[in-house]
């Protein structure tokens, strides 16, 4: 008797939808029998998948209900796929095209087929659900938008539907490359098709796009800096409140587990009273890029200061008394290539250093009366830190995984705030007032307040 063709596929299958059903159907049609691996909570945690909402049993039941799976197994550990394929003598491994190339290593053991993923998620199907999938559109098609798409695969409960931009051929290409269901250069058309937007366009466009999106009742996640002056920021947050929409600034560090633990530890009293914080972020860029273009609000402070300022505000608070900037400017480009700045508080001092044309060690040091916490570069992707004391016997190391390039943390926070709107008011990770204080400092620099050029 001819051996039956056995197909295997894997997934989380959270908030089970049309795209999942079609994938299972196509996988089943490739052979005679289908095994479906459903990810366990621990496995999803380990691979950095965030915001999974349904429990494992619920997800298994949803797959079962399709009647397409001949066998359901649980995926519990990294490397299990190879073992399953050998154990069950699998002929074909099938998975959605969003994973293209990622599972080629299995070709040694069986045939690997990437099936077209479902682009848009149908709204009629979602409306019947309590907490559906958020349809998100991207504004912009640059490097950060690319990275955002890759990271969004690791956040459950969101589907990237389409892209908006001013250049038709660029948005078209972007949508094709990332299998999005639409692209457009018309902002109203764009807004009609989504529930929420991610703004990854140049700084000076943030205000207009955020305002229009909120006015059209859309939730907004905007890359840092949200805007470059406090009046604009206050206006946008008031509009968000009025419209009962989420407006979140995308400073990824603020939402990452390592940074949140670091703040907790620093404030626990372990290193005594905190008296000083030093935070540095430098990134050398090439001469002709947007980051060094004064007309596009380029410069080290506008580009990079959100990160050190986040550390200042989160560790020492919002009530600084004075600030001073010491800057090395490019005389032709009229942008700061390096700026060292101090915030003085009644009882403590903060020093930040940012540079696009000067390189330095990107670490963070929190100094207290009993000891200090050292966070090595890149501290803004907080993964490892050490509490150090006069007597090194008491030193203690801490480790938290920082997944991917971290954009998934801001997206996951955004989605969970949308799903539980009340949390917005209590959003402790980056409060509206925190954002406003950060913008206040950036604005002061732009207005040349207390800036000494060297
Ligand atoms: N899928 C799809 N169309 C969508 C969404 C998902 O075809 N609009 C496919 C995915 O490509 C995947 C399957 O449905 O093949 C399950 O998707 P998820 O539940 O998101 O699981 P995923 O994170 O892709 O896990 O070991 C787990 C696997 O690596 C895949």
Ligand 1: atom nearest CA of 13 is: 19
- Asked if pLDDT for residue 122 goes beyond 70, the answer is no
Give 296 Cα–ligand 1 centroid separation in angstroms: 39
Is 70 exceeded by the pLDDT of residue 423?
A: no
Residue 69 has pLDDT above 80, yes or no: yes
pLDDT band, very low/low/confident/very high, at 428 (cuts 50, 70, 90): confident
Rounded to an integer, the average pLDDT of 130-149 is 91
Closest C-alpha among 295, 285, 267 to residue 373: 267
Distance from C-alpha of 94 to C-alpha of 146, rounded to nearest angstrom: 25
Query: Does the pLDDT at position 131 exceed 50?
Result: no
Domains of the chain: 6-115 (3.40.50.620), 124-252 (3.40.50.720), 254-453 (3.30.360.10)
Ligand 1 atom 10: residue of nearest CA: 96
State which ligand 1 atom lies nearest to the alpha carbon of 97. 11
What's the pLDDT score for residue 127? Answer: 44
The finding on whether 23 has its CB within 6 A of some atom of ligand 1 is yes
Residues whose CB is less than 8 angstroms from the CB of residue 305 and which lie 6 or more positions away in sequence, other chains included: 281, 339, 341, 352, 354, 438, 441, 442, 445
Q: What is the average pLDDT across 86-104?
A: 97
The pTM for the full model equals 0.93
Q: What is the pLDDT of residue 404?
A: 94
pLDDT of 132 reads 82
221-268 residue pLDDT tens = 999 999 999 999 999 999 999 999 999 999 999 999 999 999 999 999
Over residues 417-434, mean pLDDT: 80
Q: Whose CA is nearest to atom 30 of ligand 1?
A: 11
- CA distance linking residue 103 with residue 416, whole number of Å: 30
Residue 44 pLDDT greater than 60, yes or no? yes
pLDDT at 34: 98
Atom 5, ligand 1: which residue's CA is nearest? Answer: 19
Check whether 123 has a pLDDT greater than 70: no
Determine the average pLDDT of the residues in 102-112: 97
Looking at residues 381-385, what average pLDDT do you find?
Answer: 98
| Nearest ligand 1 atom to alpha carbon 117 | 7
Select from 428, 411, 372, 375 the least CA-distant residue to 156.
411
The reply to whether ligand 1 has any atom less than 6 angstroms from the CB of 62 is no
User: How many residues can be counted in the chain?
Assistant: 454
Query: What is the token pair recorded at 283?
Result: 């990134």
26 lines ligand 1 (CB under 6 A): no
Residue 17 near ligand 1, beta carbon < 6 Å: no
Q: Is 212 in the pocket of ligand 1 (CB under 6 A)?
A: no
Ligand 1 contact via 220 beta carbon (within 6 Å):
no
Would you tell me the crossing angle of helices 257-266 and 306-316 to the nearest 10 degrees? 40
For the chain, what percent of residues have pLDDT higher than 70? 96
Q: State yes or no: pLDDT of 422 exceeds 80.
A: no
Cβ of 386 closer than 6 Å to ligand 1, yes or no, is no
Q: Which protein residue has the closest C-alpha to ligand 1 atom 11?
A: 96
Q: Is 157 in the pocket of ligand 1 (CB under 6 A)?
A: no
Kindly report the backbone phi and psi dihedral angles of residue 255, in degrees, each rounded to the nearest multiple of 5, phi listed first. Answer: -105, 5
| CA 12 to ligand 1 center in whole angstroms | 7
């Amino acid at each position: 008797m001819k051996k039956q063709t056995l197909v295997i596929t894997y997934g989380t299958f959270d908030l089970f939808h049309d795209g999942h059903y079609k994938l299972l159907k196509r996988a089943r049609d490739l052979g005679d029998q289908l095994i479906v691996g459903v990810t366990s909570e621990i496995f999803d945690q380990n691979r950095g998948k965030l915001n999974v909402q349904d429990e494992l049993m619920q997800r298994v039941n949803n797959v079962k209900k399709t009647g397409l799976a001949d066998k359901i197994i649980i995926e519990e550990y990294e490397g299990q796929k190879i073992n399953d394929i050998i154990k069950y003598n699998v002929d074909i491994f099938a998975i959605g095209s969003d994973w293209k190339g990622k599972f080629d290593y299995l070709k040694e053991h069986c045939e690997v087929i990437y099936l077209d993923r479902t682009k848009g998620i149908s709204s009629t199907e979602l409306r019947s659900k309590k907490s559906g999938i958020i349809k998100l559109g991207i504004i912009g098609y640059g490097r950060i938008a690319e990275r955002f798409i890759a990271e969004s695969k690791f956040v459950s409960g969101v589907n990237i539907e389409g892209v908006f931009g001013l250049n038709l051929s660029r948005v078209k290409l972007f949508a094709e490359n990332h299998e999005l269901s639409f692209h457009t250069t018309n902002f109203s058309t764009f807004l009609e098709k989504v529930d929420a937007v991610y703004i990854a366009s140049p700084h000076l466009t943030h205000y207009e796009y955020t305002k229009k999106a909120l006015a059209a009742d859309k939730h907004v996640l905007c890359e840092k800096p949200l805007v470059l002056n406090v009046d604009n920021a206050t206006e946008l947050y008031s509009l968000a409140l009025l419209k009962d929409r989420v407006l979140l600034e995308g400073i990824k560090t603020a939402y990452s587990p390592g940074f949140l633990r670091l703040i907790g530890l620093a404030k626990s009293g372990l290193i005594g009273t905190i008296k000083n914080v030093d935070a540095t972020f430098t990134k050398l860029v090439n001469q002709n890029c947007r980051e060094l273009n004064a007309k596009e609000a380029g410069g080290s402070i506008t580009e990079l200061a959100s990160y050190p300022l986040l550390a200042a505000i989160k560790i020492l608070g919002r009530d600084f008394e004075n600030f001073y900037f010491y800057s090395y400017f490019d005389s032709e480009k009229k942008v700061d290539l390096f700026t060292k700045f101090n915030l003085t508080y009644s009882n403590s001092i903060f020093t930040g250093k940012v540079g696009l044309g000067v390189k330095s060690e990107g670490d963070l040091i929190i100094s207290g009366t009993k000891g200090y916490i050292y966070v090595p570069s890149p501290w803004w992707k907080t993964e490892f830190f050490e509490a150090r004391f006069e007597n090194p016997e008491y030193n203690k190391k801490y480790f938290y995984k920082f997944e991917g390039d971290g954009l998934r943390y801001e997206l996951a926070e955004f989605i969970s705030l949308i799903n539980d709107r009340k949390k917005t008011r209590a959003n402790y990770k980056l409060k509206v007032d925190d954002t406003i204080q950060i913008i206040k400092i950036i604005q002061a620099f732009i207005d040349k307040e207390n800036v000494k050029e060297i």
